Structure 1
């Protein structure tokens, strides 16, 4: 089945909060509509109230709000006359150059005008008219404007009110969309992190930690910018442009159609940028992940780097990655610089050239096809049209960066995860059996070959063998970090595959050779912040393993702060905490994976004494190199190159004189040599 595109999956995340987004978009539409009323109000203000006095004026008998007194007579503009007004004569006011003249008769409002010696001449296509006219003084002209003042103030007040209302809706739209965007990213990050915990262990073996961290943090942050800023800009710009085009069509359909040429140009440019920008961003994001991995590895191994004086080589490796990142970022900057702002400027200039060509100088005047108000509105809308275009083009780099980052995040989400089932199962007794188990990490490279053994409930079993013999692989299979290619693993007679991986592990505890300590306190590392483990239970577990004598010397004691990896603690202290962690969860099966390999003899003796108590009522599996620590085990299994070569008690295996005997003698010889 074909997977949905990255864009479709981003949309699906957004649709999880479609109600909030819909409310935000409705607020946006209202805000855009209110804001775009400005040029129409300005058009009305100019045509009807500022230059509207250039019209026929009728002499009337009665005075009202729209009448003007001139030379003792009352005049009212033609469009203000009511049916009950008694008209006695008609005059005309015309603009000639920068002056207005009063003509005491009805003359044409169109045509080319000239005024000289108190005579006005009007030339039209059909005839030439002359009439006596009087130039209006500034005070007289002001009287003809007075009836329009109230309307002008009202229109300005309405426009101001609409702008304030639009600002409120714009705020609500921005707040809702940004809040929703952050919720989308929170959901995405939660999903990604939850999915990481469902991925099989081998995924983390193949992927450097830095790369995984980069996808959860850097890539999702880039996507957050997409929802918070880029998509908000795109949605706002699209609605804004749509509103402007509606207004342009209302003003002049032909010129609006010419302006539509802008859309395919922008669409073509976006497609072109997607091709090159996507290619460059893919390299940039991948290189950022590699850099994170390199930094993470360098920090983790800084002591080794400094000890072997490899600072220069490590710096060269980072500089190579950093140079690659710089080169592709430069390509992206060049791609944007060549076109983004320049492209919009060129399109704006071409649009104004077309605008001037369309109207022409002869179109603006007495016989012009456009009024001053329409001209102002059209220029205003044309200017406004290129602001969202600029916003769209300027967001293309972030859009492509977010799209590439989203592709990387979704590729991680597409990794096959393990099924989760945390349903509680009864505590099993811990009777373990491996039946004809064969396992390989890589195809045709078996690390375990036809393994058979049984450990009864409550027994202590030890696994020994040279490095690479398969000891840890047995524990990996028991924990269901992996499943065998053939054979069966059972606990209390039930196949482990009948339970989920979480259920199998729910009654197991493990202590590793190199214990991991999390940032927090001593107690939080024992309880793992599990509500089922109380403070008293954690302290008792620490005391049971003998850690109390060491911990009570620390400042803060059980609440002493520890950092990641527990670098402030000794290896023995870290191991004891790890041991108490396993004990606090009261496992039915306890696994000690080389748990005493890296600790001093005194601490080992503490653990050995605690083990005698811990082994009661639970099955204990021990992986050990030091054979002196497992002499009391109920069973010892000897592995060699993935096969089970011997099994029995310590004394039985020594009596056989086989692999175990020789391993024991070698270690005894090494110990005696050290003593001497």
Structure 2
């Protein structure tokens, strides 16, 4: 199946909340329609009630018209019968003249004396009777226009107020949908992370994964919260303006349409160049997060081995790379995006002036002042959404780059999830010709063949790299064998999901992980199947109650990140109690006593003697003194079992186990002496 592009996948996420988005866009359409009524109202107001006053007037008996020297007159465009005496109110700049008869309004003023006005009409001069009006006399012609003007202004204000309500709901709905989209995306990402195999987390630095869940999804959130609204609003607003331009003047509308392909071409150019810069910036930022995470995690070792300068150097290299590309991105934006809109605005107005200059010279088409104002207003408005869209191009490319990284994570093959309960194991474990390699053909285990009966305690010993921990990783299904089978009670572990298989297996690692919360929540893992009483009993069984009951809130004592307020031994006891509280049929101890003092180790050994009855226990041993009571001991070397038996029989063979025991015994004697 062909993978979808980042844009299509981002769009698909938006479709989850398409109803909310569609309602928001409908509100936007109404708001744009109401707002764009302004130029049409202004055109009507100017042409009909301001410049339209300069017109021909017909004498009438209707006393609602304009009164002049005892007679009433109506504008010729507002009366059906034109058989009365006519006068013309002629305007030249800021001066008004009252002329006898019907005079062409397109005529040009030449000169005036007290009773005669000379005009130029189509290259010929004409003289008409008339005189210049004073300001007070002109106002009598405007008195009837005041109420319509006020009415139109009130209508426009009302429409703007209604539009503001639609804009509010548009903004609210689009941002609500945007936040829901990113909430779902983060949920999907986090849920998918839980399904990824352990190998993924071994290969990927934690900081890079963290950056994808936090920084990258935040950048995508900005896409939906800001960019979606800006581009949706801008597109609809521009469409509305083009419709208005075509209604007012088709030629101007066609000229303005040239801007659309220019904008589309520019966005494609920006996507290619700006997209490259943003991908490098986001990737470098991810590496910076990984570097910071590693520095914080290993700060003790960094300071202990005086590696601060090296770590600062590595960080500064990444920081400088991020700054360099961010500067390139800023320079690219400054030189193009904002200048582009200004350039297009200026070119558009030049074309506008040339067009109307040509119309004026031609003289065949009359351009009213209202039409001119409306067209200028609309063209000026056209560049507002263009400017906003250009300003969001950088954010758009950041979101696209982040989306690509997030979807790359989501494309990582996860594991099937199945939590359906299975019967408790009896506990027989068999490795049947098991071979395993972390890397191709570099086998850590080779044809491993052994069995552990239910209820037995088996220990695995060997030098570093012999494959001890790998056996536990395979049994717990952090990995699966390359060859061979692992059987529990005769059933291949791959016949169950990993969640099912782990239901009856407990594990205690050498380096225990303590979660933020309370002591009890760390034992129960917030699983309702583990009661408070069972958790406390497990803590007491391992002897952890001795230090817990000295704490102010005892078992409800808050635990900080990683449980750093506890000693290594105390953290290990908590981890041990966690495993025991779930009462596993099979218990894995991976070097669980390696970092524990002798007194704490003694408490664990005592607890084990009670708890291992009816439970299969597998121990990876660092201290051979802790496994002397094991039913079986397997000695590993380079991924193969070279010896097996119990403590006594292995010593009697005087083989590898005997050498290891003698070596540890000698060290202990030296330490004691």
- Superposed pair shares fold, TM > 0.5: yes
The equivalent residue for 1:102 is: 98
1:267-307 Cα offsets, whole Å, 9 max, x none, are 22211111111111111111111111111111111111111
- SS for the counterpart of 2:175 is helix
- SS for the counterpart of 1:120 is strand
In the TM superposition, residue 365 of structure 1 has moved relative to its aligned partner by 12
In the TM superposition, residue 114 of structure 1 has moved relative to its aligned partner by 3.3
Q: What is the distance in 2 between the residues matched to 1:477 and 1:367? A: 90
The equivalent residue for 1:113 is: 109
| Contact map agreement 2:588 2:618 (CA 8 A) in 1 | yes
Aligned pairs for 1:272-291 (under 5 A) are 272-291=269-288
In the TM superposition, residue 367 of structure 1 has moved relative to its aligned partner by 7.6
The equivalent residue for 2:573 is: 576
Matched, 1:207 2:204: yes
- SS for the counterpart of 1:592 is strand
The equivalent residue for 1:394 is: 391
In the TM superposition, residue 139 of structure 1 has moved relative to its aligned partner by 2.2
The equivalent residue for 2:234 is: 237
In the TM superposition, residue 126 of structure 1 has moved relative to its aligned partner by 7.1
| Contact map agreement 2:111 2:119 (CA 8 A) in 1 | no
The equivalent residue for 1:72 is: 70
- SS for the counterpart of 2:53 is coil
- SS for the counterpart of 2:126 is strand
- SS for the counterpart of 1:620 is strand
Matched, 1:346 2:338: no
- SS for the counterpart of 2:67 is strand
The equivalent residue for 2:17 is: 17
User: In the alignment, which of 531, 535, 553 is matched to residue 532 of structure 2?
Assistant: 535
The equivalent residue for 1:423 is: 420
In the TM superposition, residue 50 of structure 1 has moved relative to its aligned partner by 1.0
The equivalent residue for 2:251 is: 254
In the TM superposition, residue 31 of structure 1 has moved relative to its aligned partner by 0.8
Aligned pairs for 1:392-471 (under 5 A) are 392-471=389-468
Q: What is the distance in 2 between the residues matched to 1:172 and 1:54? A: 44
User: In the alignment, which of 310, 332, 337 is matched to residue 335 of structure 1?
Assistant: 332
1:514-572 Cα offsets, whole Å, 9 max, x none, are 10111222112112222322322222211111100111122322222222222111011
| Contact map agreement 1:427 1:588 (CA 8 A) in 2 | yes
The equivalent residue for 1:216 is: 213
Q: What is the distance in 1 between the residues matched to 2:212 and 2:84? A: 84
| CA distance 1:523–1:364, shift in 2 (3 Å) | farther
| Contact map agreement 1:54 1:94 (CA 8 A) in 2 | yes
Unpaired runs of 5+ residues, structure 1, are none
User: In the alignment, which of 634, 637, 653 is matched to residue 637 of structure 1?
Assistant: 634
**TM score, norm. by length of structure 2:** 0.97
| Contact map agreement 1:520 1:561 (CA 8 A) in 2 | yes
- SS for the counterpart of 1:595 is coil
Q: What is the distance in 1 between the residues matched to 2:480 and 2:47? A: 83
Q: What is the distance in 2 between the residues matched to 1:316 and 1:659? A: 46
Range that drifts further, 17-26 or 259-268:
259-268
- SS for the counterpart of 1:52 is helix
The equivalent residue for 1:485 is: 482
The equivalent residue for 1:513 is: 510
Aligned pairs for 1:361-380 (under 5 A) are 363=360, 369-380=366-377
Q: What is the distance in 1 between the residues matched to 2:237 and 2:414? A: 44
| Contact map agreement 1:112 1:124 (CA 8 A) in 2 | yes
| Contact map agreement 2:432 2:449 (CA 8 A) in 1 | yes
In the TM superposition, residue 115 of structure 1 has moved relative to its aligned partner by 4.4
| Contact map agreement 1:233 1:392 (CA 8 A) in 2 | yes
1:302-357 Cα offsets, whole Å, 9 max, x none, are 11111111211211111111011111100001000111222211111111111111
Q: What is the distance in 2 between the residues matched to 1:547 and 1:444? A: 44
User: In the alignment, which of 577, 600, 604 is matched to residue 601 of structure 2?
Assistant: 604
In the TM superposition, residue 370 of structure 1 has moved relative to its aligned partner by 0.8
In the TM superposition, residue 134 of structure 1 has moved relative to its aligned partner by 2.8
Matched, 1:52 2:46: no
Q: What is the distance in 2 between the residues matched to 1:611 and 1:553? A: 24
In the TM superposition, residue 369 of structure 1 has moved relative to its aligned partner by 2.6
Range that drifts further, 357-366 or 37-46:
357-366
Q: How many pairs are equivalent?
A: 672
- SS for the counterpart of 1:95 is strand
Q: What is the distance in 2 between the residues matched to 1:554 and 1:538? A: 17
In the TM superposition, residue 87 of structure 1 has moved relative to its aligned partner by 5.4
In the TM superposition, residue 125 of structure 1 has moved relative to its aligned partner by 2.2
Unpaired runs of 5+ residues, structure 2, are none
Matched, 1:174 2:171: yes
| Contact map agreement 1:111 1:366 (CA 8 A) in 2 | no
The equivalent residue for 1:27 is: 27
In the TM superposition, residue 56 of structure 1 has moved relative to its aligned partner by 1.8
The equivalent residue for 2:85 is: 89
In the TM superposition, residue 468 of structure 1 has moved relative to its aligned partner by 1.1
Aligned pairs for 1:109-148 (under 5 A) are 109-117=105-113, 118-125=115-122, 127-148=124-145
- SS for the counterpart of 1:506 is helix
Q: What is the distance in 1 between the residues matched to 2:359 and 2:99? A: 25
- SS for the counterpart of 2:417 is coil
1:83-138 Cα offsets, whole Å, 9 max, x none, are 7xx95322221112311122232222222223411322332227543211132222
Q: What is the distance in 2 between the residues matched to 1:353 and 1:278? A: 33
User: In the alignment, which of 548, 558, 561 is matched to residue 561 of structure 1?
Assistant: 558
- SS for the counterpart of 1:267 is helix
In the TM superposition, residue 368 of structure 1 has moved relative to its aligned partner by 6.1
| Contact map agreement 1:121 1:129 (CA 8 A) in 2 | yes
Q: What is the distance in 2 between the residues matched to 1:368 and 1:120? A: 25
User: In the alignment, which of 610, 616, 619 is matched to residue 616 of structure 2?
Assistant: 619
User: In the alignment, which of 313, 318, 321 is matched to residue 316 of structure 1?
Assistant: 313
The equivalent residue for 2:592 is: 595
Q: What is the distance in 2 between the residues matched to 1:133 and 1:225? A: 67
Range that drifts further, 652-661 or 28-37:
652-661
Range that drifts further, 608-617 or 400-409:
608-617
The equivalent residue for 2:41 is: 41
Q: What is the distance in 2 between the residues matched to 1:12 and 1:364? A: 54
Q: What is the distance in 1 between the residues matched to 2:362 and 2:445? A: 96
Range that drifts further, 472-481 or 555-564:
555-564
Q: CA RMSD in A?
A: 1.7
- SS for the counterpart of 2:200 is helix
| Contact map agreement 2:420 2:500 (CA 8 A) in 1 | yes
Q: What is the distance in 1 between the residues matched to 2:669 and 2:92? A: 121
The equivalent residue for 2:5 is: 5
| Contact map agreement 1:470 1:642 (CA 8 A) in 2 | yes
Q: What is the distance in 1 between the residues matched to 2:666 and 2:135? A: 121
The equivalent residue for 2:63 is: 63
- SS for the counterpart of 2:89 is strand
